[in-house]
Structure 1
Amino acid sequence: MADHQAILEEEFEVLESIFPDEFEKVSDNEVRIRIEPEEEVSGHPCELCCWTELTPVSLVLVVTYPPTYPDVIPELSLEEIDEELGELREGEEEEVVGQLNQVAEESLGMAMTFTIATAARETLSALINSRKVREQEEDEARARAYEEEEKKKTRGTPLTPALYAKWKDSFRAEMATKKAKQAEDAMRALPAREREDWRKKNARASGRQLFETAKVSATSDEALYEDGEAVDVSQYTREERDRARWEEEAKEEQAGHVALDDSDDE
Structure 2
Amino acid sequence: MDSKDNQEMEIEAIKAIYSNEIEMVESNYPNIHFKFAINSHAEGVNAHFYIDPFNVIMDIKLPANYPDELPELSIEVVEELFDDARIQKITNDLLVIAQENIGMPMDIIGTLGDELKLRKDNEFDQKLKAEEEEANKKVIGTPVNFATFTEWKNKFKAEMEAKKHSELKAKEAALFGRLTGKQQFLQDSSLFNSDLSFLVAEFQEEECEGTEKSDKKMVVEENLFEDDEDFELPSSDEDSS
Q: What is the TM-score when the length of structure 1 is the normalising length?
A: 0.45
Q: What is the TM-score when the length of structure 2 is the normalising length?
A: 0.49
